[in-house]
Amino acid sequence: FQVAGATYEDLFGAWIFAESALAEAAAQNPDLEARRLAMNPYLEVPPPPDEDLDPVLEGILFHAAVASLARNPVLRLMLHSIASVVAPHLIEHLGVKVVPHDSSEDHAEIAKAIRAGHVPRSKELAGAHTRRLVTAYRVELGDRMNQLIDWR
């Protein structure tokens, strides 16, 4: 089925907005301990991933940790749902490469900003991170960016 006449370009625009908004909300969370617990596992850039670990799942887990810090459950659900469907849909239905670049450095920087409660920096870093992913997906998708989203 198609989503309200939306194109992949529309989806990516929503994804950039969603990740930026979630990082902003996460950094605004007044519970310092919650921010520490959620972001501490991402503060260091991990060694190269084990072949058995799914890089898409790793990314989804990081973004779920960020979303968990948004204090509005409706916002958390709506915005996280955009991000959690983008990569699996692109991979499974459009044959896009799994991950266009290693996101661990981006995730570490975003985690540090959220943990410290730096609201503008968190939003900026999350937006830049998502724009890097979107740029790579745009190159790979080419003209398909203007196609209607075909959810299966």
- pLDDT tens, residue by residue, 64-120: 899 999 988 888 888 777 766 777 777 777 777 656 567 889 999 999 999 999 999
Return all residues near 74 (Cβ < 8 A) that are at least 6 apart.
none
Give the Cα separation of 34 and 148 in Å (integer): 39
Return all residues near 11 (Cβ < 8 A) that are at least 6 apart.
3, 82, 86, 149
Query: pTM to 2 decimals?
Result: 0.86
pLDDT confidence band for 121 (50 / 70 / 90): very high
Give the Cα separation of 91 and 87 in Å (integer): 6
Phi, psi of 7 (to 5 degrees): -100, 175
Query: H helices within 29-118, ranges in order?
Result: 32-39, 55-68, 73-94, 104-116
Most confident of 2-11, 26-35, 38-47, 87-96: 26-35
Return all residues near 76 (Cβ < 8 A) that are at least 6 apart.
22, 25, 67, 68, 70
Q: Give the DSSP H or E segment for 150.
A: strand 148-150
Tokens of 107: 């995730």
Q: Supply the pLDDT for residue 122.
A: 98
Q: Supply the pLDDT for residue 46.
A: 66
